[in-house]
Structure 1
Amino acid sequence: MSEFLGSVWWLIVSLGVLVTFHEFGHYWVARRCGVKVLRFSIGFGRPLWSRRGRDGTVYQIAMLPLGGYVKMLDEREGAVPAEQAAQAFNRASVWKRIAIVAAGPLANLLLCVALLWAMFVIGRPDYAPVVGQSTGIAQASGLQPGDRVDQVGNRATPTWSEVHQALLPAALDHRDIALHVTDAGDRQVVRDLRLSQLPDGFDQRRFIQAIGLLPRHLLVPPLVGRVEPDSAAWGILAEGDRVTAVDGSPVRAFEDIGPLVQRLGERGGAAMVEVARDGERLALEITPGRMNLPDGRGQYWALGIAPPRNLPMPPKDAMQRYGVVAAAPVAVREVGHLTGQLVGMIGRAFSGRVALENTVAGPITIARAANTYAQQGAAWYLTILALLSLSLAILNLLPIPLLDGGHLLYYLIELVKGSPVSERTMVAGQYVGLALLASLMGLAFYNDILQLVR
């Protein structure tokens, strides 16, 4: 399946699951509160399939799979037979209306817990949280290649994904954070990662690189994939050579070559570059040359070699897995942690600490992410589905008219003042809600296009 078709498929599946659970929450509680449900729709537009249940509700799947709705009997939307008036939504008590509206986000929250529980039971393969290369801020903070990051702040980090997730808020806040590390000598130490030294305007999507951290699994083997014509290595090194040392310093990864060559060039003169070629070990004399930086704003010392393209990722060497019973409290704690992370990101977006292109994801970005996660196996797909379910719950609770949170705000005002919000106020709120939602959608599509251009 192509990436495009795969992305479309997983977007439809993901939205179908999330919307079904969300709307079922509204539907189930409405029925329990004695409110008549006229229509339960997954998707918008012309129905592709529908049937009428014994309770009179029309269940349907519509053409546009980008949402759904539950239509309830309501005197504000049309004439209601006198014998059914007691079943109208607007006749329900304010507490019942609050319960019905809140049930959608709550269903997504419960679904998030269930998905994470299933993910932990299945087991999510990942990479060990081991530092492969340390430069810049990370190196100045004492992190060394081979260090295993066991904890970031108060958060245990059994995998590199956990390290990435735990470091993001601190990086966005330019806040120093303690790393509990097991070094290459099996000693447990604490490193104070000085994220306050991150420059303003750093690329927030590549914050790990801005810190100067490269995980072990992203190290590139020191293989020569290409030799630039007329470069220092031209005619000396060959494609397929494995560089093992530069001027007597051992090379573990391709990333080690650049700094060693820089020091060699600054020192001046030739040096021996040791390589493995066709089962033989060779020591070849090379003098580094000057090459232009990609942006054309200067030069650097280089051999003129590049690694092979499209190298396969190494096998995953860590696993997050719990028993059926033990996974339940872990899933609940994880939902609490993720909720704090997402709410914090919303707060940073309003305060300007998060760039606009990193705030709201549109359908294209969601589709590509769902496809990417699905290709990594069931556990990873359950992870992205859980995150989307939680995001949908939180988004719907925002106090924006037309969203569940906007309706809850009206009902809370009704509780305080003792009477419903006026029709005029609700109409004005709908216009405000439409404007805000249109702005959010515009930002989401802008971010999608920006990512495609990048």
Structure 2
Amino acid sequence: MYLASILGFLYTNILPFIILLGILIFVHELGHFAVARMCGVRVEVFSLGFGKKIFSFRRGDTTYCISLIPLGGYVKMFGEQGSQEIKTEEDRKVAYSYKNPWQRIAIVAAGPLMNFFFAAFVFALIAQMGEQTKAPVIEDVAAGSIAATAGFQAGDRILKVGSNSIASYEDFQKQLNENQNATVEVVVKNPEGVERAVNVNVASANNPNIFSMSSRIGQIEGLLPYARSAAVAVMTGTPAYELGFRSGDQITAVNGTTVPRWVNLVASFDSAATDLNVTLNRPSAEIDGKVQNTEMSIVVPLKTLKKAKSVQGFGFDNTELYLDMVVKDSPADKAGLQKFDKVISINQVPITKWDDISNTIRSFNGTDAMTFVIQRDGAEMIKKITPQITELNTAFGGIDKRFTVGITPYLVFTEPEMTVVHSASIFHSVAKGFQRTVDVSVMTVMSFVRLFQGEVSVKNVGGMVTIGKVAKDSFEIGAQAFLMTMGILSVSLFILNLLPIPVLDGGHLVFYTIELIKGSPLSLKKIEMAQQVGLVLLLALMILAQFNDIVKFLFKS
């Protein structure tokens, strides 16, 4: 039993990390190795890992080995350390240091470039296998918005924009980006299979993705990227409460028909012609961080629905006004706020949506405590809360410093519909693979730029523990997620190794470029000084990454 647990831990936690890192290191070092051999350099050692060799064999002039520490690899070339070991003319022919600058540049650049081409191969493989991506389905439409006025409805499937067929939501967004500040015809099909054309103006909006080169994106105001699920908040003293419904219930079906969205729930209640048998999941316990649900059914008499006239009259309230989480030791926690408290008003201003709460707290003047009126079990309470400045990470990794009190709304969204998109041909897959590699490369470069500009927190820099966590999680999700992670990390290695830091490939490329320009190599003393500086920078980056890992994973609350 104990052995089985150890093997299970190794399989789920260690194996994905070793596979992921091992393949990426092998590809990188293979680039150096192959081009070195092509340039006539004698390669003495090809190693995956550092430290003590646990497996090795020799073929020709090269010893191939796997070493104990799987956190890197190396290719040792004859003459790489200088001319001390070079004694004969034959030695000069196979010595790395005696190759011309162009050959040395090719050997050094081959490692990062192999990571680039390997990423393109992985992304092309995903495209050829069939990529699971978000389906071109409209999740929800804001009432009274431009999208609603134009005629879009929740559940509409986008078929075409102009003359362009749409296979995924990514395709749809690309068409919006290409048609900013223009009117387009969008062909959609509703859940009943009826097609119709919708003419709408595409606005130009700020791009929330700070890692993109494009500052603007196309947007149809009112198309929501998420749909509110059929989770309910229940007001005390209402028919819903008397029948046994409680805040936090997740309604899954009505009379056997699945209700994935809030709009489906409302429609089933509004169109009821008989008593409704409502199936729901109720949170009952939390085990190992996962909420355990109890399934139950409640019968809603038709006469009760007719008397209530609407879901609101029945007792189902707007969930975003209710609290889902109160952060420990936050101002809200110290004031005594609890899960499922309803916020009625702040500073005597009535609250109708979560944005009212967020914006009111954000505009805090920094002096007087704010007056919250909340409702708990039907009774109103007054709480005095003083917001505090909090540094938050945005969805795209940016930094947002603002006043908060430590609460989140009870908002549960449906899982978006997914689809599998297959490439039309292998050539299309290859083109898509290279395009995605370029896109990820640009985002990786922009992440460094934003980091130095202070727009991205250094807390986002992760080390080996982060890589291990990502490898484990993606491995558990499935092959596509694991391959996607591998491709993204391969691009990261491509960019990271090209940074002009001595001891990295990019630093060597700088040395050899200078040699080409001035006609002679830099002095050994200058190279050693630069490498010492580079080593310090690299060690500082590694320490930062490991520190973030420790804080994130070992001391998380």
TM-score of the alignment, normalized to the shorter chain, above 0.5: yes
Matches within 5 A, 1:252-401: 253-254=261-262, 276-277=277-278, 282=301, 283=304, 285=308, 286=314, 293=323, 294-295=325-326, 296=332, 298-299=343-344, 316-358=418-460, 360-401=461-502
The one of 521, 524, 535 aligned to 1:434: 535
Deviation at 1:36?
1.2
- Counterpart in the other structure of 1:99: 106
Deviation at 1:241?
5.2
- Counterpart in the other structure of 1:33: 39
Deviation at 1:328?
1.9
1:69 counterpart SS class: strand
Deviation at 1:354?
2.6
More strand per residue: 1 or 2? 2
Deviation at 1:96?
0.8
Quick check: 1:89 aligned with 2:96? yes
The range that moved more, 98-107 or 425-434, is 425-434
**Cα pair distance change 1:422/1:241, threshold 3 Å:** closer
**Cα pair distance change 1:292/1:114, threshold 3 Å:** closer
More helix per residue: 1 or 2? 1
2:146–2:222 CA contact under 8 A, matched in 1: no
1:227–1:237 CA contact under 8 A, matched in 2: no
Post-superposition Cα deviations, 1:308-367, rounded to whole Å, max 9, x if no partner, equal 999996873342434334322222222223222322332222222333334x33222222
**Cα pair distance change 1:437/1:243, threshold 3 Å:** same
Post-superposition Cα deviations, 1:214-243, rounded to whole Å, max 9, x if no partner, equal 645x753x256x979999954433367558
2:28–2:111 CA contact under 8 A, matched in 1: yes
2:47 counterpart SS class: strand
Distance in 2, Cα, partners of 1:340 & 1:234: 53
Deviation at 1:417?
1.1
Distance in 1, Cα, partners of 2:183 & 2:502: 43
Quick check: 1:129 aligned with 2:136? yes
1:125 counterpart SS class: strand
1:79 counterpart SS class: coil
* Paired AA for residue 64 in structure 2: Y
- Counterpart in the other structure of 1:271: none
Distance in 2, Cα, partners of 1:162 & 1:367: 32
- Counterpart in the other structure of 2:386: none
The one of 178, 187, 201 aligned to 2:197: 187
* Paired AA for residue 398 in structure 1: L
Deviation at 1:98?
0.4
- Over the aligned positions, Cα root-mean-square deviation in angstroms equals 4.6
Distance in 1, Cα, partners of 2:132 & 2:76: 42
* Paired AA for residue 253 in structure 1: R
Quick check: 1:444 aligned with 2:545? yes
The range that moved more, 90-99 or 432-441, is 432-441
Q: Give the length in aligned residue pairs.
A: 406
Distance in 1, Cα, partners of 2:74 & 2:481: 28
Distance in 2, Cα, partners of 1:178 & 1:40: 57
Matches within 5 A, 1:102-251: 102-133=109-140, 145-146=154-155, 158-160=167-169, 186-187=196-197, 189=199, 192=202, 195-196=205-206, 215=225, 220=229, 222=230, 233-238=240-245
2:231–2:412 CA contact under 8 A, matched in 1: no
1:67 counterpart SS class: strand
- Counterpart in the other structure of 1:76: 81
**Cα pair distance change 1:87/1:441, threshold 3 Å:** same
Quick check: 1:16 aligned with 2:117? no
Deviation at 1:195?
4.6
**Cα pair distance change 1:375/1:252, threshold 3 Å:** closer
* Paired AA for residue 355 in structure 1: S
Deviation at 1:39?
0.8
Distance in 1, Cα, partners of 2:474 & 2:175: 20
Distance in 1, Cα, partners of 2:16 & 2:156: 37
Distance in 2, Cα, partners of 1:15 & 1:5: 15
* Paired AA for residue 43 in structure 1: G
2:84 counterpart SS class: coil
Distance in 1, Cα, partners of 2:187 & 2:260: 20
TM-score normalized with structure 1 length: 0.72
1:231–1:289 CA contact under 8 A, matched in 2: no
The range that moved more, 370-379 or 61-70, is 370-379
The one of 72, 77, 82 aligned to 1:67: 72
**Cα pair distance change 1:212/1:105, threshold 3 Å:** farther
Consecutive unaligned residues in structure 2, runs of 5 or more: 1-6, 211-220, 267-274, 279-296, 309-313, 327-331, 338-342, 345-350, 353-374, 378-409
**Cα pair distance change 1:99/1:197, threshold 3 Å:** closer
2:235–2:316 CA contact under 8 A, matched in 1: no
1:101–1:408 CA contact under 8 A, matched in 2: yes
TM-score normalized with structure 2 length: 0.60
Distance in 2, Cα, partners of 1:194 & 1:376: 35
**Cα pair distance change 1:165/1:65, threshold 3 Å:** farther
Distance in 1, Cα, partners of 2:518 & 2:495: 26
1:113–1:386 CA contact under 8 A, matched in 2: yes
Quick check: 1:407 aligned with 2:508? yes
Deviation at 1:46?
0.8
Matches within 5 A, 1:413-432: 413-432=514-533
Distance in 2, Cα, partners of 1:435 & 1:223: 53
Post-superposition Cα deviations, 1:88-126, rounded to whole Å, max 9, x if no partner, equal 211111111101000101111111121122111111223
Distance in 2, Cα, partners of 1:45 & 1:134: 58
Consecutive unaligned residues in structure 1, runs of 5 or more: 171-175, 201-210, 245-250, 259-273
Post-superposition Cα deviations, 1:282-317, rounded to whole Å, max 9, x if no partner, equal 34554578986444384478898xxx9999968733
Deviation at 1:22?
0.5
1:444 counterpart SS class: helix
1:80 counterpart SS class: coil
Post-superposition Cα deviations, 1:370-425, rounded to whole Å, max 9, x if no partner, equal 23333333233222211111111111111111110000001001111111111221
Post-superposition Cα deviations, 1:21-78, rounded to whole Å, max 9, x if no partner, equal 110110111111111111111011111101111x221111011111101111126357
* Paired AA for residue 68 in structure 1: G
1:223–1:254 CA contact under 8 A, matched in 2: yes
Distance in 1, Cα, partners of 2:104 & 2:112: 14
